[in-house]
Structure 1
Amino acid sequence: MFLMDTLIRRCCRGAPEELAAVALAEGTDPAELTRGIAGGRIVIPANPVRNHRLCAIGGGCQVKVNVNIGTSGTRCDPALEEEKAQAALENGADALMDLSTGGDLVAIRKKILAFDTTVGTVPVYEAVRRAGNAGDVDADLLFKVIREHCEQGVDFLTLHCGVNRQALAALRADPRLMGIVSRGGSFHCAMMMQRDEENPLYAEYDYLLEMLAGYDVTISLGDGMRPGCLQDAEKLAKSVEYVTLGTLAKRAHAAGVQRMIEGPGHMPLDQVGYNVRMIKEITDHAPLYLLGPLVTDIAPGYDHVVAAIGGSVACLNGADFLCMVSPSEHLALPDVADIIEGTRIAKIAAHVGDTVRRPGGYRMEREVQMAEARHNLDWDEQFRLALYGDHAKKIHCRDGDMETCSMCGDLCAVKMVNELFGTGEKGKGKKGK
């Protein structure tokens, strides 16, 4: 293995040339972005094996959205996964994760890596498929698969290094209703229990970091002990894992490896902010990557909305990267329509986060312009400014060409006040065909 001059190491010497365009997109200067990467508060997952559009994640950056795709052992249609990937990107996804567990996993991953975006994977899934069951996965196989993912060009890897014997002991000492809901977490617990060994990713963490540094691949420290229902939110295992991830995050940064933290699962809304702030503090403000949090368990079919509520609160408190939750979460493998709906809802949550964490906040130009367009009853401008203007236009126009919306009609407050005060811009209402 060659010693890669990793992005962190290069940023410690000065601003790398490729950061100029990223800084412009984030509305910051390259020097500030460089300091964030060097300090571990920002990551740009970018395996040098492949070129693609770069994505900055972390403090001071726009909240990003990841979309999970991938086959299963029940439904394996690689062409459908490509279609879902394309739909996710067209609707605003900043990154993709290939979570495939069925079919030719190497070939499927190659197709996803062909997209012009950041791509992540969970190598233990493939290791379990190759071994036949989780208990037969040993360190050699797991590290072999991790290396292959790096060589193929994956930008970030979810690795459940914090699922160790201490976390397993905490789970036993303070049992949970749902036990373990993370596939990766359950696989590693099975490996430890059936082989009577420590998790190799934890026991041989320095070797893992050496490998990742060799390919300049970002580690996403997985939340294998995240609670799977509100009733488990205050149980011990997740907090034990938090502390372990804090130590592992510091070691990764010292080794020149970019790292993100994953968490925190299902929990009541009033616990979201506390958990996010705690994780950020424990991990030296490493970028935080969340699925949800899901703040109620009784809305299957609408879990994308539930996750957006939790995600917005999480962003308010420092979360940086939202994983899309689809309407089929907990129910079925997503189809294309689920991916589109879930991506759009996640992007809305990310934007809500940006209104409270970005410079200018809710006074950002686009928000101001939308208020002006509504004041002027300028429908074309409203559709242009909307996150998903095509959808808004379809709804507005279903009752025909109207100056106002069909709910208020001739009793429109905006139109009435504009006429009383002589405000607004006449002639802009008859648009939106």
Structure 2
Amino acid sequence: MTIVEDAKAGQITEAMKVVAEVEGLEPEFIRRGIAAGRIVIPTSPYRDVKLCGIGEGLTTKVNASIGASSDIVDLDMEVEKAKAAEAAGADTLMELGTGGDFLGIRKAVCEATSLSVGSVPLYQAFITAAKRDGSIIHMTEDDLWHATEEQAKLGTNFMAIHTGINNIVLDRLKAHGRYGGICSRGGAFMTTWMLHNEKENPLYSDFDYLCEILKEHEVVLSTGNGMRAGAIHDATDRAQIQELIINSECAQKAHDKYGLQVIVEGPGHVPLDEVEMNVKLMKSMSGHKPFYMLGPLVTDVSPGRDHIVTAIGAATSASHGCDFLCYVTPAEHLALPNKEDVIEGVKTSKIAAHVGDMVKLGKRDQDLAMGRARRDLDWEKMFNLALDPELARQIRTERASADEDACTMCGDFCAVKIVNQNYNLAK
């Protein structure tokens, strides 16, 4: 039985108990959420993973994406990035390599981390076809199924699969046009293949077979977002919404008929005033499946600081009910991320997740404790409460004040110290 089938049968599994303890909730809450399709716990029969609950009522989780490219293939660097992402606080990892030995790199990454690892098997299928036959248009249906099963057996426990791109979506795309084109690599691969071969997307037409593979290997289906906007002026357009309709229908079928855990992926570039609408639309149409927000980037004009752009959108989306955030690094739109980019991306998105949870879940105890620690000039407590204790300690140490209580920002005229010496505002 799958974990969904166990949940529907009223069985509380060990995984549910572990997630409940981490989240500070009752196991029955987790069971009901999984049974209803509102919560997922990625697991794998092939490797032990750090259990992570994603969905409604749980803290917002952050995914870090790594992977070699056709220009840079460095196994040691990818392993180092995987370890750095976990150390920085990532909740899950996606290995999205498009260069080198697909299975060898992914196997090494899975062995290097205890996190749940996701992938996009479509990449392997299309690139294998291009190397074998000279073009992605020669990809076969069997290439897709083979890649999916191979990656599942490595212990890849959630997969972004582009089920929602079908001929109706392409009609919407062609009729409406786009300012920024298609930014999804999976979307570009599949639409090109469909148009050239005049065939339907196998991931849609043979969706039942796909579900059988995923069920056999206990893989969480994350419905890929091939029509996400790559420019804010394309946000919430007809192609994106049509794909969401199809993905929502596929998600329901996968959960109800096959007992699969399902995540629904959401759009990438979205102006700030459309973020709330997108979150609520995704949640409503998908039956409140866990929502995985790719970004969102709320402006297009800040390459080099897109991790900050994303943090703005991610905090907003999390506050309105998004469950799962895909980090963005400073290298987005510019280059393959290095280890430092990965660390910066994870830590920035963790701040966004925390800010969102302050609203979504009302989780403000840590902030309250920090406020009191600052009032009391308790620096050690401040460091311990910080989302990045090492950075906070480093900055204070490097720029230490002669006064152990104060900092070099205010020096002798520290507002908090002046007040504390004259009256008590403790609360």
**TM-score band (shorter)?**
over 0.9
Equivalences, count: 418
Native 8 Å contact 2:315 2:353 kept in 1: yes
Q: Which amino acid aligns with 2:384?
A: R
Q: Which amino acid aligns with 1:374?
A: R
Q: Which residue of 2 aligns with 1:187?
A: 189
Q: Which residue of 2 aligns with 1:229?
A: 231
Q: Percent identity?
A: 44
Q: Which residue of 2 aligns with 1:207?
A: 209
Q: Which residue of 2 aligns with 1:7?
A: 3
Q: Which amino acid aligns with 2:207?
A: Y
Native 8 Å contact 1:267 1:293 kept in 2: yes
Q: Which residue of 2 aligns with 1:368?
A: 368
Mapped partners of 2:36, 2:329: distance in 1 = 34
Shift of 1:191: 1.2
TM-score, reference length from structure 2: 0.96
CA distance change for structure 1 residues 52 and 362 in 2, over 3 Å: closer, same or farther? closer
Q: Which residue of 2 aligns with 1:81?
A: 78
Show the 5 A alignment for 1:160-171. Answer: 160-171=162-173
Mapped pair 1:379 → 2:379: yes
C-alpha offsets along residues 171-203 of structure 1, whole Å, 9 cap, x if unaligned?
Answer: 101000112110000111011011110000000
Match of 2:107 among 107, 110, 116: 110
Match of 1:54 among 51, 54, 65: 51
Q: Which residue of 1 aligns with 2:124?
A: 126
Shift of 1:15: 0.7
Shift of 1:355: 0.9
Mapped partners of 1:377, 1:174: distance in 2 = 58
Native 8 Å contact 1:219 1:260 kept in 2: yes
Mapped partners of 1:184, 1:363: distance in 2 = 39
Mapped pair 1:138 → 2:140: yes
Shift of 1:362: 4.1
Show the 5 A alignment for 1:13-412. Answer: 13=9, 14-114=11-111, 115-132=113-130, 133-254=135-256, 255-358=258-361, 361-364=362-365, 366-401=366-401, 402=403, 403-412=405-414
Mapped partners of 2:38, 2:271: distance in 1 = 27
Native 8 Å contact 1:15 1:30 kept in 2: yes
C-alpha offsets along residues 195-230 of structure 1, whole Å, 9 cap, x if unaligned?
Answer: 110000000011111111111110000110001001
- Give SS of 2:222's match: strand
| Consecutive aligned runs of 4 or more in structure 1 exceeding 6 Å deviation | none
Native 8 Å contact 1:291 1:307 kept in 2: no
C-alpha offsets along residues 289-334 of structure 1, whole Å, 9 cap, x if unaligned?
Answer: 1121100000000000000100011011111111110000000000
Deviates more, 1:299-308 or 1:390-399: 390-399
Shift of 1:117: 1.0
Mapped partners of 2:54, 2:128: distance in 1 = 32
Mapped partners of 1:280, 1:18: distance in 2 = 25
Shift of 1:379: 0.8
- Give SS of 2:14's match: coil
Q: Which amino acid aligns with 1:192?
A: M
RMSD: 1.3
Structure 1 unmatched runs, 5+ = 425-433
Shift of 1:18: 2.9
Q: Which residue of 2 aligns with 1:427?
A: none
Q: Which amino acid aligns with 2:230?
A: G
Mapped partners of 2:407, 2:389: distance in 1 = 15
Mapped partners of 2:67, 2:335: distance in 1 = 12
Mapped partners of 1:363, 1:101: distance in 2 = 41
Q: Which amino acid aligns with 2:380?
A: D
Q: Which amino acid aligns with 1:142?
A: L
Q: Which amino acid aligns with 1:35?
A: R
- Give SS of 2:390's match: helix
Mapped partners of 1:155, 1:63: distance in 2 = 19
TM-score, reference length from structure 1: 0.94
Structure 2 unmatched runs, 5+ = none
C-alpha offsets along residues 336-376 of structure 1, whole Å, 9 cap, x if unaligned?
Answer: 11011111001100111111122xx2432x22211111000
Mapped partners of 2:394, 2:387: distance in 1 = 14
Mapped partners of 2:160, 2:364: distance in 1 = 36
Native 8 Å contact 1:134 1:188 kept in 2: no
Native 8 Å contact 1:175 1:235 kept in 2: no
Q: Which amino acid aligns with 1:343?
A: V
Q: Which amino acid aligns with 2:390?
A: D
- Give SS of 2:57's match: coil
Native 8 Å contact 1:127 1:141 kept in 2: yes
Native 8 Å contact 2:400 2:407 kept in 1: no
Deviates more, 1:222-231 or 1:45-54: 45-54
Shift of 1:423: 5.5
Shift of 1:395: 1.5
- Give SS of 1:293's match: coil
Q: Which amino acid aligns with 2:242?
A: V
Q: Which amino acid aligns with 1:140?
A: D
Mapped partners of 1:136, 1:411: distance in 2 = 71
Native 8 Å contact 2:15 2:41 kept in 1: no
Mapped partners of 2:420, 2:414: distance in 1 = 10
